[in-house]
């Protein structure tokens, strides 16, 4: 059976990330991916969650506390600065990252992700990502500015060198409105 968008995004992470590694939740939102990533890397691993909105930071910290999760650090900053918050040891064990592009559900729809910062974040993460590690982007593009972000990110991933990266597109083409889709970037083995 075909997996839904969120289910498939988690499947890709589970296939690429190992216990004990470092992972990034580039848009922690309400904290659900942060919790998921915490379980994937286990107690010996670590999750860094980023968001620019105070409400997202509070929501994520509350969810982590309610589940007694200790292997996550939540930082109020743009995901474009993510790699600057990790130590050298953590950068060398970077197993993956997940992004949910768009806006924080239940919040101000005027505060949205932007392709400029997302592409900077992807570039930084890909530089340090382990071989066979994965960056998963769940692209919600039905909001104002979403089509531009989608177009810019698609142009960016199309130009990635196929010798260095495999890029996957996964989405349902017969859904109404503007259904989300996945872009997954796997760092290839040299």
State residue 49 phi and psi, 5-degree precision.
Answer: -110, 135
DSSP state of 53: -
CA distance 146 to 101: 9
The confidence score (pLDDT) of residue 77 equals: 97
Query: Is the pTM here over 0.85, yes or no?
Result: yes
Of 77, 122, 116, nearest to 99 by C-alpha is 122
Cβ atoms of 98 and 25 closer than 8 Å: yes
Q: Domain range holding 170?
A: 5-187
C-beta separation of 127 from 97 below 8 A: no
H or E element, residue 99: strand 94-101
DSSP code of residue 188: P
Confidence of residue 6 (pLDDT cuts 50, 70, 90): very high
The number of residues in the chain equals 190
CATH number for the domain harbouring residue 145: 3.40.50.150
Residues β-bridged to residue 24: 48, 97
pLDDT tens digit sequence for 38-68? 999 999 999 999 999 999 999 999 999 999 9
Which tens digit of pLDDT belongs to each residue from 66-122? 999 999 999 999 999 999 999 999 998 899 999 999 888 877 778 889 999 999 999
Number of domains in the chain: 1
Residue 157 has pLDDT above 90, yes or no: yes
């Amino acid at each position: 059976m075909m997996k839904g968008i969120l289910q498939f995004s988690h499947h890709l992470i589970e296939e690429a990330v190992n216990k004990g590694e470092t992972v990034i939740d580039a848009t922690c939102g309400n904290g659900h991916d942060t919790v998921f990533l915490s379980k994937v890397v286990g107690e010996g691993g670590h999750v860094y969650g980023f968001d620019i909105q105070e409400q997202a930071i509070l929501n994520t910290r509350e969810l982590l506390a309610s589940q007694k999760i200790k292997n996550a650090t939540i930082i109020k900053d743009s995901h474009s600065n993510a790699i600057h918050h990790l130590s050298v040891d953590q950068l060398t064990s970077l197993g993956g990252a997940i992004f949910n592009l768009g806006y924080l559900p239940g919040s101000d729809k005027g505060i949205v992700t932007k392709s400029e910062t997302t592409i900077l974040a992807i570039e930084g993460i890909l530089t340090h990502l382990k071989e066979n590690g994965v960056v998963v982007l769940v692209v919600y593009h039905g909001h104002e500015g979403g089509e531009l972000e989608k177009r810019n990110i698609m142009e960016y991933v199309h130009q990635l060198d196929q010798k260095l990266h495999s890029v996957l597109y996964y989405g349902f083409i017969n859904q109404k409105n503007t259904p989300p889709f996945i872009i997954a970037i796997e760092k290839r083995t040299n």
